[in-house]
Amino acid sequence: MEKFIIEGGVPLEGEIEPSGNKNAALPILAACLLTDEKVILNNLPDIQDVQTMRALLQSLGVSISQIATHKWEIQAREIRPADLDPDLSSKIRASILLAGPMVARMGTLRLPPPGGDVIGRRRVDTHIFALNALGANVEYNRHFTFKAQSLHGANILLDEASVTATENTIMAAVLANGTTTIKNAASEPHVQELCNFLNILGAKIENIGSNTLVIHGVPKLHGGEYEIGADYLEVISFIGASVVTKGSIRIKNAGVEHLDMIRMVFRRLGVDWQVVDKDIVVPREQSLAIESDLGEAIPEISVMPWPAFPTDLMSIAIVVATQSNGTVLFHDWMYPSRMFFTDKLVGMGAQIVLCDPHRCIVQGPSRLYGEKMESPDIRAGMALLLAALSAKGCSTIRNVAQIERGYERIDDKLKALGANISRQ
């Protein structure tokens, strides 16, 4: 099991360019099943989750060739409803994204339970309700069996604004007969990217970026080429790393159009940045003072569906708050295990009270000290890496494969910015 050794306290300096959005790449790869023609994808992140999705697609008969490190040619000319490898399926939550396109294209799929980060229960009921509405039958007996003679348009109100359920419904609906309306749809940047990609292939999706999608089914999709946008979660991770190390960096092609709400929240932690064309410049001078609510009340930062503050950035914001002056309450009602990494921050010297599985109070600033830790999941692992970069002394982070499921060559990128980090 590989580990990172980090000597903290080194300000980050220089320029960096984020990788492609992992959460866009995975559904877009799954959507390649919807056409028998060639698709070329650019700016795919070279990470383990993407490689796992590649293996799953190839097990279904999809031809994939790597033109360059971040460029693939994909063709699902002759696919088969093969039983998916349960070990591969258990590695990523995104394996469930194969259901929508396979039911639309082949009428069947047998899917082992999906995996992913252990951050609490992640229900799949919304997927089933939506696919049922489109005409699919779903059975569960320690695995899922999806079947459909044909799919038809429907008016669908999702019982939660689930990203993956929205994506599955979109992919199934683009080849269904008639028009589908999806209400309470997720609208995250990666959902928008999936819609834009499908439209390039000939789909007819309207109201992209809203919570009500209208999809006019078409009989067939054709091939095409698409470039995946910047991973905004990686962008904010680098902003956080710059701030907690008191550095100054420039993030090129940062996808600034998606960061307005996130910027509002980070301003409440005393953090801001400059937008220069398509780049973000993080200045060394930050107030790092938590902004109180009216009447000097302790502020609350809570996650909500997009375009509000995303749950995947809660861990990063908590680490930044440990270096800001003041008190703030964090509330993540979505996942009951999201905050269970905070005990590791406390062990490093942070002043954090874990109120319950969903809430914690952070009092800052705190001097952090090097510690030996293990990465529990992608986002918490990256947050611990930020804490280690800020800390006095040496830190060891084990199980870095968890971090690298979502961050491409993160140690090399940090080294390029001057971080003292090595892999063992």
Pairing of strands 179-183, 204-206: unpaired
Instruction: Indicate if 49 belongs to the active site.
Output: no
Specify the pLDDT at position 372.
96
Specify the pLDDT at position 326.
98
pLDDT tens track for 271-283: 999 999 999 999 9
CA atoms 231, 26, 72, 375: torsion sign: positive
Q: pTM score, two decimals?
A: 0.93
Mean pLDDT of 239-250: 98
Local structure of residue 71 (DSSP, 8 states) = E
pLDDT tens track for 338-387: 898 999 999 999 999 999 999 999 999 999 999 999 998 899 999 999 99
What is the phi/psi pair of residue 364, to 5°?
A: -135, 175
Measured distance CA(219)–CA(330) in Å, rounded: 47
The domain spans of the chain are 3-19+230-423, 22-227
Determine whether 13 is exposed, middle or buried from the number of CB atoms within 10 Å of its CB (0-12, 13-18, 19+). Answer: middle
- Please work out, in degrees rounded to the nearest 5, the angle formed at the alpha carbon of residue 387 by the alpha carbons of 329 and 268: 35
Which listed residue (49, 117, 312, 332) is catalytic?
117
Joined tokens for residue 188? 């995250």
* Cross-strand partners of 139: 145
Determine whether 233 is exposed, middle or buried from the number of CB atoms within 10 Å of its CB (0-12, 13-18, 19+). Answer: buried
Strands (E), 43-142: 63-68, 71-75, 108-111, 137-140
pLDDT at 254 over 50: yes
370: three-class secondary structure by DSSP = coil
CATH homologous superfamily for the domain 22-227: Enolpyruvate transferase domain (3.65.10.10)
Mean pLDDT of 288-311: 95
What is the phi/psi pair of residue 165, to 5°?
A: -65, -40
**Closest C-alpha to 113, from 85, 132, 136:** 85
pLDDT at 120 over 60: no
What is the phi/psi pair of residue 243, to 5°?
A: -65, -50
pLDDT tens track for 377-418: 899 999 999 999 999 999 999 999 999 989 999 999 999 999
- Cα-based distances in Å from 179 to 108, 137, 164, 176, 392: 22, 19, 20, 8, 58
174: three-class secondary structure by DSSP = coil
What kind and span of H or E run contains 39?
strand 38-42
Q: Which residue has the tokens 């000939």?
A: 202
Specify the pLDDT at position 11.
98
Specify the pLDDT at position 10.
97
Do 3-19+230-423 and 22-227 fold alike per CATH?
A: yes
Measured distance CA(272)–CA(306) in Å, rounded: 20
Q: Does domain 3-19+230-423 have CATH number 3.65.10.10?
A: yes
Specify the pLDDT at position 123.
67
pLDDT at 20 over 80: yes
Measured distance CA(173)–CA(178) in Å, rounded: 9
Determine whether 93 is exposed, middle or buried from the number of CB atoms within 10 Å of its CB (0-12, 13-18, 19+). Answer: middle
DSSP 345-368: HHHTT-EEEEEETTEEEEEE----
pLDDT at 40 over 50: yes
Measured distance CA(96)–CA(131) in Å, rounded: 12
Specify the pLDDT at position 143.
82
pLDDT tens track for 179-223: 999 999 999 999 999 999 999 999 999 999 999 999 999 999 999
| Mean pLDDT, rounded, of the chain | 94
CA atoms 135, 140, 146, 149: torsion sign: negative
pLDDT tens track for 101-111: 999 999 988 88
Q: In which band, very low, low, confident or very high, does the pLDDT at 177 lie, cut at 50, 70 and 90? A: very high
pLDDT at 176 over 90: yes
* Neighbouring residues of 240: CB distance < 8 A, sequence distance ≥ 6: 271, 316, 317, 319, 320, 386
